Chains A and B, each alone.
Chain A
Amino acid sequence: MRLCIVGIGGMGGKVAHEFLANEDFESCRLTKLTGGEHVTSGGIKGVWLESDENEAKNKNKFFKDGRQNPHDYPLYFIPHDMVPDGHPVHVAIKKKYGYDIKKQGYVRDAQYLKAVYEIFEDDPEIRGKLLDLRSTNPIFDCAWAAVRPYTTLGRGKCDGILFIISLGGGTGTGFVNPIVQHIRSTGKGDYPVFVLGVLTEEGTASDREQYAKEGKRNLGAISSIYDLLTKGGGVDGLILVDNQILLSRCEGDYTLANRYLHQVSLPLVAARDYPGEKPPSPAVRAFSTEGWSFPPILVPCYSRIRRRSGSEASLVEEALSKGRLFGCQPQDADKAIVFCRGYLDSGKIRNAIVGHIPDLTADKIAVWRKLGENSHEELLILLRNPYGSPGSYQIEGTLEWRLHRVIASAITYMEGHKPDLLYIKGYSESTQDDELTVTDETRQALEDFFYGDRGLKAELEVAMKRLEDGTKPFFKRPLRIFDIPDPKSVSPLVIEDNKTTPAQRAQIKKMIQEELREMGLKV
């Protein structure tokens, strides 16, 4: 498994830096002599996608500007640079929808980039203005062009992608879904794509760090998670990490937390696999998605203990009890993907996991081992969908509890901030925010998206109910902001009553009933 690490946004860039730091002795003169390449653990490669020029140019010293010299490494890219200022498409989107696609740092609204992606994908009028850019979706094409060369789809060696984002409502939150959709839409349906999303902590502690208040952050986070989990053929696994847990282990230090995240990932990305146990990313993808039609949630549980013989049981115990990086109930998991480093017996690891999660049979546990340091042994268990017990949403430390609270907070925000979400004049409370003026058409689309009968708020309410009942999955129906009719693809469905057979009628009836049930209505 050789992953391409793609950090998106501020936090994604900082964590990607930890992954991509050169492990070789750094010296420019010596490198000229030896032709030395950038060496990383496990041969991983990566890139940083950012939207804020100031952040990328002035505050970052690690990533180099991909536009200046594409042969440098590692690079950062600012995808919206692809569209020049004042380009007809920039003007047309501003005029028709009100969105400024060149806005620095992107608007810290969950739906902003989702809307931009949909406009590029679906609006023939906008696409018609893109001819000179040789791209139908320039922002996301440019982002993909920055990543692709490192992957086996380009000329690289990475057989999978791991996006690292903060689910704090900024660039990472907004960008990850469109870019994943874009990769998929270019025909790479089975290329392994995983997302590591860090949910920001509760309370006001990270308001400054994330430039957004808790309710807004939570709406951004849940909106992004919603899209990640409902897009069939989207990501192959959403690895959820709770920053609250991360910071509690790192004494509240964000830099230490980023390093810890890298350390936790070493069993996954490092080299020195056991002979015959070098899983290609497609194998991990296949195991992760098998038997589940939606993108799964993966909760990482990590442990690291001093080496001693027969430590498998202790490692598993430690990982599942104290090592969860997101609240969950391990016994609800339907699969376990294990990566470990050290002299460990895979049979003993399986037995130890079954001891904690009796419902998991051996074929539901995959173990991949590597050699690590001699002094310590490490274990990373990715539990698939470790939730789904009725009433668990009331128990602190469960996935249901955490997400129920995030959803509730997002709904409260939506109820109290309608003018903000619809960009009604005078909405901005903060002096930081430049007000956006969207068109009436966009405002109507946003109103339907957020507050419509089948809009986000309604879906979130249904999801809360599902979490309360312990239903898997809790997000089901993909949502769109715009319903832009494409003249080429419109084909009205006509059911002629006198031509339908009883079997067809029964089938249609069943489909409607299922749909109504999904909406939470009694049938």
Chain B
Amino acid sequence: MNMMQVSFLAIVMLLLLGLVAHILNVRRVHRRIEMLEHKAVPKEELLSDLYSCQGSNFNALALSAWILFLTALFFLYLLTPELFQDRNYFIQLPRMASSLGGLALFGLLGSVMMILVVVGSEKMPESLQYYRLAELYGYYSMSRNEKRAMIAAIPLLWVSILISTHMATIHPTFWAPEWWAGFTLLFASLSLLIWPMAKEMWEGRS
């Protein structure tokens, strides 16, 4: 396994950590509340009481960050054949790659896929409402500074996308430090996006 594959695995692991943390957080809160109430508490009731609106602007920016995240991931790993030699933009979609707006279309493809994930998550039943991406952060207590820090993921992701675009332009030349810079920004952005879940899991462990 080369370093790039390890880096991809790290991103996937971080993503999974966020998901697992979120599931565990909700379960732990439910368990603790039931223990303190000395009775069963319906999950739907708990979730509706637990949820607090973080604001439309924040929600819009957080969703944009997630959409950009998938786009940046596509650009970093699928644009050039360094990681997936047979599955990348140039080999799989040569006609699109050589067209005028090919790169933009490729980015759009990533965005549309993430939008589909968001829309799909909205269709979750009430008992699984905490998986809805648009409501995700409503289950966490977040300060204004934490929100500002999280939204910093957007410019970081844009820089990562620009780096990947530059690398695609100079391909087959490959400059490792530039790629690692793109990866670091992507990793940092994902860390910011899952920060509330990870923080809650860490602080609520005892």
Contacts and interface: CB of A to CB of B under 8 A. Distances in A.
- Asked if A pairs with B, the answer is yes
Interface of A: 21-27, 30-31, 33-37, 39, 42-43, 271-276, 278, 307-309, 343-346, 369, 371-375
Contact of B55 (A24, A278, A343): A24
B56 A278 contact: no
Nearest 9 pairs of A and B residues by beta carbon: A24-B55, A374-B203, A36-B56, A374-B204, A34-B56, A271-B52, A39-B55, A36-B57, A25-B57
Contacts of A39: 53-55
A341 to B, nearest CB: 9
B61 A275 contact: no
A25 B151 contact: yes
Contacts of B37: 274-276
Contacts of B199: 374
Contact of B56 (A35, A345, A372): A35
Interface in B139-171: 141, 144, 147-148, 151
Contacts of B33: 274-275, 343
Interface of B: 29, 32-33, 36-37, 41-42, 45-46, 49-50, 52-61, 141, 144, 147-148, 151, 199-200, 203-204, 206
Contacts of A372: 141
B134 to A, nearest CB: 12
A5 B49 CA distance: 22
B196 to A, nearest CB: 11
B50 A30 contact: no
B65 to A, nearest CB: 11
Contact of B60 (A22, A26, A34): A34
A514 B6 CA distance: 88
Contact of A25 (B147, B200, B203): B147
Contact of A275 (B45, B59, B151, B204): B45
Given A30-B61, A374-B200, 17 more contacts: A23-B55, A24-B56, A24-B57, A25-B55, A31-B57, A34-B57, A34-B59, A36-B55, A36-B57, A37-B56, A275-B37, A275-B42, A343-B32, A343-B33, A371-B29, A371-B141, A374-B199
B206 A373 contact: no
A275 B46 contact: yes
Nearest to B202: A374
Q: Which of B42, B52, B144, B148 has the most CB of A within 10 A?
A: B52
Contacts of B200: 374
Contacts of A343: 32-33, 36
A27 B50 contact: no
A31 B61 CA distance: 11
B49 A25 contact: no
A345 B54 CA distance: 28
A65 B148 CA distance: 28
Contact of B58 (A25, A33, A43): A25
A273 to B, nearest CB: 6
Given A25-B147, A273-B49, A275-B46, A375 B60 contact: no
The secondary-structure label for the interface of chain B is: helix
B204 A23 contact: no
29 contacts: A24-B147, A25-B55, A25-B57, A25-B58, A25-B147, A25-B148, A27-B57, A30-B61, A31-B56, A33-B60, A36-B56, A36-B60, A37-B56, A39-B54, A39-B55, A272-B52, A274-B37, A274-B49, A275-B33, A275-B49, A276-B45, A343-B32, A345-B36, A371-B29, A372-B141, A373-B141, A373-B203, A374-B200, A375-B203
A115 B33 CA distance: 53
Contacts of B58: 24-25
A343 B203 CA distance: 13
B62 to A, nearest CB: 9
The secondary-structure label for the interface of chain A is: loop
Nearest to B139: A272
A112 B151 CA distance: 51
A22 B55 contact: yes
Contacts of B29: 371
Given A343-B36, A344-B36, A272 B57 contact: no
A375 B151 CA distance: 23
A124 B58 CA distance: 54
Contacts of A272: 49-50, 52, 141
Contacts of A42: 52
B54 A371 contact: no
B41 A275 contact: yes
A23 B57 contact: no
Nearest to B199: A374
Contacts of A346: 36
Q: Which of B41, B58, B147, B199 has the most CB of A within 10 A?
A: B58
Contacts of B32: 343
A374 B140 CA distance: 10
Given A274-B49, A275-B41, A309 B57 contact: no
Nearest to B30: A275
A273 B49 CA distance: 6
Given A30-B61, A343-B36, A345-B36, A24 B54 contact: yes
A33 B60 CA distance: 10
A113 to B, nearest CB: 36
A369 to B, nearest CB: 8
A275 B50 CA distance: 8
A275 B45 CA distance: 7
Nearest to A271: B52
B85 to A, nearest CB: 41
Contacts of A31: 56-57
A373 B146 CA distance: 13
Contacts of A34: 56-57, 59-60
B25 to A, nearest CB: 9
A26 B206 contact: no
A476 to B, nearest CB: 43
A380 to B, nearest CB: 17
Nearest to A278: B49
A23 B54 contact: yes
B206 A23 contact: no
Contacts of A309: 206
Contacts of A374: 199-200, 203-204
B130 to A, nearest CB: 14
Nearest to B43: A275
Contacts of A275: 33, 37, 41-42, 45-46, 49
Q: Which of B36, B49, B54, B57 has the most CB of A within 10 A?
A: B57
